[in-house]
Structure 1
Amino acid sequence: MRYVVIGAGAIGCSIGGRLHQAGHDVVLVARGEHGRVLREDGLTLVTPGERLRLRVPVVSGPDEVELDPDHVLVLAVKTQDTVAALDAWRHRPVRGGGTAGERLPVFCAQNGVANERMALRRFRHVYGAFVLLPASYLEPGEVIAPCGPLTGLLVLGRHPSGADGTAERIGADLAASRFRTEVVPDLPRWKYLKLLGNLGNAIEAVCGEPSPDLHARAWAEADRVLEAAGIGHAANRDVAELRGDAVEVRHVDGVSELRNSSWQSLARGGSLETDYLNGEIVLLGRLHGVPTPVNETLLDVANEFARLRRSPGELTLKELTARVPG
């Protein structure tokens, strides 16, 4: 299989870099200064005890890739960029006939629960993953992945349900590339658990530090929403059993702390995926008549920061908490 990683940021480079290092055929899709550095100098992947320089092939878009039936499209863009990415690739011809949307699997290595549904409108064969892979991308060409001894945990399956040979092959390739993997038939349960965990991203992004208390309030609110919607989710103990001591955040020389993906997006002056994290809970709450004041506040404040190009940490936890009704 050849892996075409669409969105070579922190997650895309961690997955693509490790696959390449293990001998798999990989191409990264990246543009701008990041793409230039990746092409000219290679990917610098920093992990506990390692500073790797990986010469992974890089392209800027679908016009530079000739697709074959054994290709897998790995989608690693932020959710707000998913539709544009899918539309850019879905009609690309595949050697032997047909298009990518008709013939190729697309593997969504993303947060939230909306990406796979977007993909299924455009691709026949959609796979997704619960991604536990702390990583940081702040400098062009360099990604820091601080977990060890394995780089991350990926629980994957077909969307909307099931596990087939393609999922098993992807899982096996990832397992041979320094990832803990598990192929499951009930992927949405895992995706909703990850969604709950990501509800605190907005807090750290705007305040510069996490708030376990405020995150717990957002999580409890979301639990009420999911119960009203009849949506179940995996438990934290399920994740703990899978990761064991194989996926632990460790010290990386020269790195004092690791920030979540929303903080990183704000720091780079980019957009946020909060509409598909806290916003997913707000949407479900409105559909099922459950108030969501905590998640609505986090959604509104995070979007305000992104819209006004405010820097991470400009709001204190006290100020943010005071904006939450009740």
Structure 2
Amino acid sequence: MKIAVMGAGAIGSYFGGLLARAGEDVWFVARGPHLQAMREKGLRVESPHGDFSIPVQATDDPAEVGPVDLVLFTVKSFDTEGAARQMLPMMGPQAVVLSLQNGVTNEEVLGRVIGPDKVLGGLCYIPADVPEPGLVKHNGPKRDIIFGELPGGITGRARAILAVLEKAGIPTTLAEDIRVPLWSKFLFISAFSSITALTRMPIGPVRDTPEAWELYAGLLEECYLVARGLGVNLPDNAVAQTLEMSKNWPDSAKSSLLQDLEKGKRLEIDALCGAVARLGDQVGVPTPLSRCVYGALKVHQPKTAS
């Protein structure tokens, strides 16, 4: 299968590296020093599941790649529309795009550009970063992908993608209703990102401060009610389960949103707390906490962000 990784940072490079090692025809669309390092020295991966190095095909020009069968779409949410337009030269007649981004609105944006029938919903659980150009460090045991057709059901093309991912050794689940796992993850990351970025603290001090923990629970509840308002069948105990899971995270755990805030980078708030507020408006669910966090963090959005 010919595969392109659009936005080959830590997550895209890791999964793309596994697929290339398994013999798939993989192209990495990247930029900056990471692209240059991959061109010159290949891709290096350090992982609890085994380190490896592999020469790769890397470019910053999707037209150089040409039509593909599958695109793993791993760009930041605020780059979704622009990256979707850039990848049009890769969209052959049978091409399909699997989004592995944060948030629950990226698939709709992709669909407006390339057509909704070409988009699969997906998510991944993997702690990874790029400590230096050309090197991906996988920082934990999890490296799971969950994906599925947005209208629901199981299709032949989804089964074919599942087979390719499993052949590469990627633990993968093909979901009958992808909206449930998408929103289950979003419930956590939207509230976790919001509370850690707002307080400028990792989860430990939030847990130790009753007022902050209450705010975290309130953010989870708002997101849960929005999901149910949209017809997503999250379990009744979804908020309680997420709170219990959050008690087991290391005290030092920070969201990527907090890390971006500390580094002065552009923030994914429009896809996180901002999305909760917007979608709440659509279904008539009040979201005062999410709206407040969004407004407070918007002040820190770099002025260069459009």
Q: Which amino acid aligns with 1:84?
A: G
Q: Measure, in 2, the Cα distance between the counterparts of 1:289 and 1:101.
A: 40
Change in Cα spacing, 1:215 to 1:142, as seen in structure 2 (3 Å) is farther
Change in Cα spacing, 1:229 to 1:170, as seen in structure 2 (3 Å) is closer
TM-score of the aligned structures, taking structure 2 as reference length: 0.82
Query: Displacement of 1:182 after TM fit?
Result: 1.2
Change in Cα spacing, 1:204 to 1:17, as seen in structure 2 (3 Å) is farther
Q: Which runs of 5+ in 1 are unaligned?
A: 94-99, 241-248, 250-256, 310-326
Per the alignment, residue 244 of structure 2 pairs with: none
SS in 1 for 2:34: helix
Change in Cα spacing, 1:139 to 1:265, as seen in structure 2 (3 Å) is farther
Q: Measure, in 2, the Cα distance between the counterparts of 1:234 and 1:4.
A: 35
Q: Which runs of 5+ in 2 are unaligned?
A: 208-212, 242-248
Q: Measure, in 1, the Cα distance between the counterparts of 2:283 and 2:108.
A: 20
* Aligned 1:269-280 pairs, distance under 5 A: 269-280=264-275
Change in Cα spacing, 1:198 to 1:14, as seen in structure 2 (3 Å) is same
1:112 aligns with 2:103: yes
Change in Cα spacing, 1:60 to 1:13, as seen in structure 2 (3 Å) is same
Per the alignment, residue 291 of structure 1 pairs with: 286
SS in 1 for 2:257: helix
1:203 aligns with 2:195: yes
Per the alignment, residue 302 of structure 1 pairs with: 297
* Aligned 1:3-82 pairs, distance under 5 A: 3-48=3-48, 50-68=50-68, 71-82=69-80
1:144 aligns with 2:145: no
C-alpha contact (below 8 Å) 1:136/1:261 kept by paired residues: no
Q: Deviations over 1:245-270 (max 9, x none)?
A: xxxx9xxxxxxx77543244345543
Identity %: 31
Q: Measure, in 1, the Cα distance between the counterparts of 2:257 and 2:29.
A: 21
C-alpha contact (below 8 Å) 2:261/2:267 kept by paired residues: yes
Between 283-292 and 12-21, report the one with greater CA deviation.
283-292
Q: Which amino acid aligns with 2:274?
A: G
Change in Cα spacing, 1:53 to 1:78, as seen in structure 2 (3 Å) is same
SS in 2 for 1:301: helix
SS in 2 for 1:8: coil
Q: Which amino acid aligns with 1:302?
A: L
Q: Measure, in 1, the Cα distance between the counterparts of 2:50 and 2:225.
A: 43
Q: Deviations over 1:192-245 (max 9, x none)?
A: 1111011112333451412352432210122223333433236899xx9xxxxx
Q: Measure, in 2, the Cα distance between the counterparts of 1:222 and 1:18.
A: 34
Per the alignment, residue 86 of structure 1 pairs with: 84
Greater percentage in helix: 2
